[in-house]
A and B are shown apart, each in its own frame.
Chain A
Amino acid sequence: MIIIGERINGMFKDIARAINDRDPGPVQEWAKKQEYNGAHYLDINVGPSSTEPVEAMKWLVEVAQEASDLPLALDSTKYDAIEAGLKLCKQPAMINSVPAEMAKMERVFAMAAEYGAEVIGLAMNEEGIPKDADMRVGLAAELVATADAFGISPDMLYIDPLALPCNVAQDHGPEVMRTLREIKMISDPAPKTTVGLSNISQGTKNRELINRTFAVMAMANGLDSAIADACDDELMAAVASARIILDMDIYCDSFVDVFKQRNR
């Protein structure tokens, strides 16, 4: 499973402070730490409170790339900030994210085509997050079709079926699982899938347990990637085990270390 390390996000106090003071320390430390622990991408998010998202994004992209060779997932609802970041990326990046809304899709897919970026597509539109799998798959199909119109292959797309906290929207859980399975039938090649892993456990007790249980269940239903805490050792161990059980990696006694060390 592709792990998009979530930690460089202005939502966290140390990163918010680093952005504010233009102190590369914490950003680079987390870039290295996540890479060391097995992340495949680094999510880059300036945070909700940034007053200058474009400049902050540019700074984060440059600083992160000094510390790590991992590709970046540029995470913002402000597409000008994403575009400014894309221009600075040394290797093809990921755009996080776009909902199935025409105006936004046109903006994002044009940008993705220009910079060769992958795109996270959200199974939601102006009306919000659908209640069931059928609606989610329908929106995923809209994302795939619109991307195709811009010459973007479905396997450049990561569809996020959007998981909601399991304590407030329990009935969404099985729908998310079904969505993950059915997304693979939309096209050939099929789009990839992703989730913001920790959404499932917002406001619950024992969040890590819920996160990693969700991760392995979703993997069994075809999940390709997750935006997650790469430094959660138990999560990474659970993912490594699931990869063995799903015959995605060949077993050896050091299978957990091998999964985590593939970047080193």
Chain B
Amino acid sequence: MAVEILKEKYRSKVGEVVLGATKEDGGTRSHTITVGGESALPYLHFEGEIPNRPVVALEVWDIVPEWNPCFEQYYGDVYNDPGAWAKKCVEEYGADLIQVRLKGADPDLKDHSPEDCAATVKKVLEAVSVPVMVIGCGKADKDNTIYNPIAEAAAGENLVMGVGELENYKAVTSACMANNHVVIAQSPIDINICKQLNILIAEMSPAMSTRIIIDPTVAALGYGIEYSYSIMERARNGALQGDKMLAMPMYGNAGFESWRQKEANISADEQPGWGEQEERGILWEATTAMAYLQSGIDILVMRHPEALKAIKGNIDDLMKNNSY
């Protein structure tokens, strides 16, 4: 007897967001990237559409980063040149897009001026033709001064800019509103704040409600990954059940978080039982990223070229149609 397999029906879907702009739309990118649009839980192609492949970014800093020495061989020659660094990420390592982290704006580090920051972003835009994301140094007072100059300098490029937080979302949102960029709305692993922040941004301008990327804050493997995972799962279920204020694509800094942890960094001399450091770090990052693909992430920001390669292979597998 034939068995009728029950399939879940979802009422709604995740909104699509376009990143970058080509010449026709006032930008200089060679192509745009569309993320979101899922009408089923992650990769259940048999229950709905997963129309857009998740994308993987590599990160470029505006100062020489204090990263694990193992990165020297990949980025050492370009640490001082954000443009060349971005180019290498795209051309040699296959990044789908670039995230510029303006760490140098931090008043306790280089205290780069808003104009310096805008110039760095321009340099990256000139060096690569993929869509670009820009985030500040993480200190709100300073970051609020750099958003506008950057947004204006890159007007038309449809950047992704961040981050907006519950207590500090207006400056970045108005910079994005005025210059047609996409905003990253970051919440501290908290579904209620995630939703509230999206509502507040949408209240500033209804047009922005389709230009939000959710950053639910992703933790590294071993550091609360299950909390981030379940928040993302809840957000995605909400989106599929018709909660418009959670129906945005999601983003996470898997590389940054993984490489902050001792498991990725401690040498084999210090922990002989843990195995070789670089291989371990790659696995730590790739495993973290893989979990977030399973929970529905749309944009992953990674660090190690080998971890990126592994994740792209994983995405190829996940995007194979398994409908029946």
Decide: B244 and A252 in contact? CB cutoff 8 A.
Answer: no
Minimum distance in angstroms from A52 CB to a CB of chain B: 39
Minimum distance in angstroms from A190 CB to a CB of chain B: 15
Decide: A250 and B234 in contact? CB cutoff 8 A.
Answer: yes
Q: A251 to B243, alpha carbons, bound, how many Å?
A: 11
Q: A258 to B245, alpha carbons, bound, how many Å?
A: 9
Q: Which residues of A contact B234 (CB under 8 A)?
A: 250
Q: Which residues of A contact B243 (CB under 8 A)?
A: 249-250
Stretch among B73-81, B172-180, B188-196, B298-306 lining the A interface: B188-196
Decide: A262 and B196 in contact? CB cutoff 8 A.
Answer: no
CB closest chain-B residue, reference A248: B241
A51 within 8 A of B: no
Q: A250 to B241, alpha carbons, bound, how many Å?
A: 11
Q: A254 to B243, alpha carbons, bound, how many Å?
A: 13
Interface magnitude class on chain A: under 10
Which parts of A234-264 form the interface with B (CB within 8 Å)? 249-254, 257-258, 262
Of listed A251, A252, A257, residue having the most chain B CB within 10 A = A252
B171 within 8 A of A: no
Decide: A252 and B238 in contact? CB cutoff 8 A.
Answer: no
Q: A62 to B313, alpha carbons, bound, how many Å?
A: 56
Q: Which residues of A contact B238 (CB under 8 A)?
A: 250
Question: Once A and B bind, how many residue pairs between them come within 8 Å at the CB atom?
Answer: 27
Which parts of B156-194 form the interface with A (CB within 8 Å)? 191-193
User: Do most interface residues of chain A lie in helix, strand or loop, or is the interface mixed?
Assistant: loop
Q: A39 to B192, alpha carbons, bound, how many Å?
A: 24
Which of A250, A257, A262 is the one whose CB lies under 8 Å from B192? A250
Q: Which residues of A contact B245 (CB under 8 A)?
A: 252, 258
Minimum distance in angstroms from B52 CB to a CB of chain A: 24
Q: Can you list, as one digit per residue, whether each of A97-113 has a CB less than 8 Å from chain B (1) or not (0)?
A: 00000000000000000
Minimum distance in angstroms from B264 CB to a CB of chain A: 33
Q: Can you list, as one digit per residue, whether each of B179-221 has a CB less than 8 Å from chain A (1) or not (0)?
A: 0000000000001110110010000000000000000000000
Q: Which residues of B contact A257 (CB under 8 A)?
A: 199
Q: Can you list, as one digit per residue, whether each of B214-256 has a CB less than 8 Å from chain A (1) or not (0)?
A: 0000000000000000000011001000011110000000000
Which of B196, B235, B244, B246 is the one whose CB lies under 8 Å from A254? B196
Minimum distance in angstroms from A116 CB to a CB of chain B: 17
Which parts of A19-50 form the interface with B (CB within 8 Å)? none
Taking A258-B245, A262-B244 as contacts, is the C-beta distance between A250 and B191 under 8 angstroms?
A: yes
Decide: B191 and A253 in contact? CB cutoff 8 A.
Answer: no
Q: A112 to B238, alpha carbons, bound, how many Å?
A: 31
Q: Which residues of A contact B196 (CB under 8 A)?
A: 252-254
Q: Which residues of B contact A254 (CB under 8 A)?
A: 196, 199
Q: Which residues of A contact B244 (CB under 8 A)?
A: 262
Q: Which residues of A contact B193 (CB under 8 A)?
A: 252
Decide: B199 and A250 in contact? CB cutoff 8 A.
Answer: no
Minimum distance in angstroms from B11 CB to a CB of chain A: 12
CB closest chain-A residue, reference B195: A252
Of listed A249, A250, A254, residue having the most chain B CB within 10 A = A250
Q: A250 to B194, alpha carbons, bound, how many Å?
A: 10
Q: A66 to B195, alpha carbons, bound, how many Å?
A: 33
CB closest chain-A residue, reference B166: A253
Minimum distance in angstroms from A244 CB to a CB of chain B: 10
Minimum distance in angstroms from A85 CB to a CB of chain B: 27
Q: Which residues of B contact A250 (CB under 8 A)?
A: 191-192, 195, 234-235, 238, 243, 246
CB closest chain-B residue, reference A250: B238
Q: A16 to B244, alpha carbons, bound, how many Å?
A: 38
Minimum distance in angstroms from A259 CB to a CB of chain B: 11
Minimum distance in angstroms from B193 CB to a CB of chain A: 8
Q: Which residues of A contact B199 (CB under 8 A)?
A: 252, 254, 257-258
Q: Which residues of A contact B246 (CB under 8 A)?
A: 250
Minimum distance in angstroms from B198 CB to a CB of chain A: 8
Minimum distance in angstroms from A137 CB to a CB of chain B: 26
Of listed B192, B234, B235, B246, residue having the most chain A CB within 10 A = B192
Minimum distance in angstroms from A8 CB to a CB of chain B: 25
CB closest chain-A residue, reference B191: A250
Minimum distance in angstroms from B210 CB to a CB of chain A: 15
Q: Which residues of B contact A262 (CB under 8 A)?
A: 244
Q: A39 to B243, alpha carbons, bound, how many Å?
A: 16
Q: A91 to B199, alpha carbons, bound, how many Å?
A: 29
Of listed B193, B195, B235, B246, residue having the most chain A CB within 10 A = B195
Minimum distance in angstroms from A1 CB to a CB of chain B: 13
Interface residues of B (CB under 8 A from A): 191-193, 195-196, 199, 234-235, 238, 243-246
Known: A252-B199, A258-B199. 13 other contacts (CB 8 A): A250-B191, A250-B192, A250-B238, A250-B243, A252-B192, A252-B193, A252-B195, A252-B245, A253-B196, A254-B196, A254-B199, A258-B245, A262-B244
Top 10 A-B residue pairs of the complex, sorted by shortest distance between their CB atoms? A252-B195, A252-B196, A251-B192, A253-B196, A250-B238, A254-B199, A252-B192, A250-B191, A250-B195, A250-B243
Interface residues of A (CB under 8 A from B): 249-254, 257-258, 262
List 12 A-B pairs, Cβ < 8 Å: A249-B243, A250-B192, A250-B195, A250-B235, A251-B191, A251-B192, A251-B195, A252-B192, A252-B196, A254-B196, A257-B199, A262-B244
